[in-house]
Amino acid sequence: MNQKAVLVLGGGIAGIQAAIDLANMGTKVYLVERKPSIGGRMAQLDKTFPTNDCAMCILAPKMIECANHENITLLTYSELAELQGESGRFQAKVIRKARFVDEDKCVGCGECAEKCPTKVTDDFNAGLGQRKAIYKYFPQAVPSTYVIDPDHCRLFQGKKCGVCEKICKAKALDYGQKDREIILDVGAVIMATGFDLYDVSPLSEYGWGKSKNVLTAMQFERMICASGPTMGHLKRPSDGKEPKNLAFIQCVGSRDVRHKKYCSAVCCMHATKEAILAHEHYPELSSSIFYMDMRAVGKGFQDYIQRAKTEYAVEYIRARPGRITENEENLNPIIHYEDTNTRELKTREFDMVILAQALTPSETNASVAEKVGVSLDDFGFVSPSQDPLNPFATTRKGVFACGFCQSPMDVPDSVVRASAAASKAAETLASR
Ligand SMILES: Cc1cc2nc3c(=O)[nH]c(=O)nc-3n(C[C@H](O)[C@H](O)[C@H](O)COP(=O)(O)OP(=O)(O)OC[C@H]3O[C@@H](n4cnc5c(N)ncnc54)[C@H](O)[C@@H]3O)c2cc1C
């Protein structure tokens, strides 16, 4: 029998958009997300370039639409285990990981997390701040169900606890919950597994992990976000003081033959945005962006950079920083760089440095690609089909891709690709 449902893998903005488009066409969608909530990386951003819209304000309504849509089944905290069959007649095995909290009973009140005695580094906040061993992925999570992290929960580590069960008025805790396997019949698959952040600790010359006042761009996004760990206040990790000047370093790991040869595509613009936001929060603050060349190819991007220079005290320095050391007295990072316009070697001290780390395919991209039977390019992104007029197709019929898992791209481009992939998947269902 021909199947009339679509499996979407990844609940970032690309997967969400593809799911909503298909659902609005009357197609049944299973949206599989490995994290406890949909939202993807966009949920971690403060604002989005080039309009400086609040990221969560435009993302949250789409997340809620997904959850409430009668044609969408949300399968969060779940992963694809196997895909069999062929275009029009696939069968997917999906593993639903145990949350140890009953989704139907949990009301998201948060009392369990308040009383939980175990603190864990918070990945959602890019390592700034802590969460509890029972936690909601982020305040606006969809679904808003809590989840136990068994690797850190005292009870699961064989110690005495059970505080969350005692405190939960909804009786939602279920320590005996097991992973479940479900089988889905679908006619087409859309991969939207997004990206991960390249680990910059091997690039020791930039001082991340050694110098407290060197952050990554994602850490900066969380810090400047009102719902982040510092409630939107910029604070130097070394002393909690407000920085007066910031340096942004571009291409940390990207366009670097030792690491990732490709351009991560969104960093010139997100650094400009972050510098603008910092100045909006603190009008006395200035920023300097160290860049190789500015890649501002989108509509309105060049104007955005121009405004950053003229209205937001942003200085652009064409340079290749070679090393960051630290002023031992005040722990200010000192950038050693070659000004590639004048060919002079210079040093400059800043209160805080922000690294635009390379962006890589999701760590699961390779295993998902193997399961769904599509090829990846040399960098691990999903290879396009050989047809240049059908860039949403993959090397396997009936499997489409969109968003950052195909190649580095910003939110608007991810959404365009998602809508295109959705229409191609719908065409596949209709044409059989
Ligand atoms: C610091 C920074 C700032 C940025 N600022 C902006 C900005 O201002 N404006 C802009 O347009 N863009 C910005 N971007 C880029 C933006 O984040 C991406 O364009 C966007 O998130 C891509 O969406 P996506 O859905 O393709 O991927 P993602 O957001 O990465 O979502 C992918 C989803 O798939 C899930 N997933 C992964 N593997 C699996 C699996 N095996 N099974 C199920 N689910 C899986 C992930 O958990 C995730 O939820 C920024 C990026 C960074 C790093």
Residue 312 pLDDT > 70, yes or no? yes
Among 138, 266, 360, the mutation site with the greatest number of ligand 1 atoms within 8 A of its Cβ is 266
Using the atom order of ligand 1, give the atom closest to the CA of residue 220.
1
**DSSP codes of every residue in 18-39:** HHHHHHHTT-EEEEEESSSSS-
Q: Which atom of ligand 1 is nearest to the CA of 32?
A: 43
Q: Which residues line ligand 1 (CB under 6 A)?
A: 9-15, 32-35, 40-42, 45, 48-49, 79, 192-195, 217-218, 221, 266, 270, 273, 359, 362, 364, 368, 403-404, 409-412, 414
42 alpha carbon – ligand 1 mean position (Å): 6
Q: In angstroms, what CA-CA distances link 164 with 100, 169, 172, 175?
A: 11, 10, 9, 10
Q: Is 5-97+179-194+362-430's fold the same as 198-359's?
A: yes
Predicted confidence (pLDDT) per residue in 52-63, tens digit: 999 999 999 999
Spatial contact of 241 and 249, defined as CB atoms under 8 Å apart: no
Element (H, E) at 9: strand 5-9
Ligand 1 atom 14, closest CA: 410
Pocket test for ligand 1, best of 362, 372, 413 (most atoms within 8 A of CB): 362
Alpha carbon of 41 to ligand 1 centroid (Å) = 4
At 432 the pLDDT is: 62
The residue extents of the domains of the chain are 5-97+179-194+362-430, 111-167, 198-359
Give exposure, 86-108, as e/b (b: 16+ Cβ within 10 Å).
Answer: ebbebebebbbbbbbbebeebee
Atom 32, ligand 1: which residue's CA is nearest? Answer: 194
> Is the pLDDT confidence value at 320 over 90?
no
Give me the pLDDT at residue 182, please: 98
Average pLDDT value for residue range 171-194:
98
**Check whether domain 198-359 has CATH 3.50.50.60, yes or no:** yes
pTM of the model: 0.97
What is the Cα–Cα distance from 163 to 109, expressed in whole angstroms?
15
Its CATH architecture, for the domain 5-97+179-194+362-430, is 3-Layer(bba) Sandwich (3.50)
Confidence class for position 391, pLDDT limits 50, 70, 90: confident
pLDDT of residue 388: 85
Q: Kindly report which listed range (9-13, 133-137, 250-254, 383-387) carries the lowest average pLDDT score.
A: 383-387
Alpha-carbon span 195 to 44, nearest angstrom: 13
In this structure, are residues 349 and 334 in contact, taking their beta carbons and an 8 Å threshold? yes
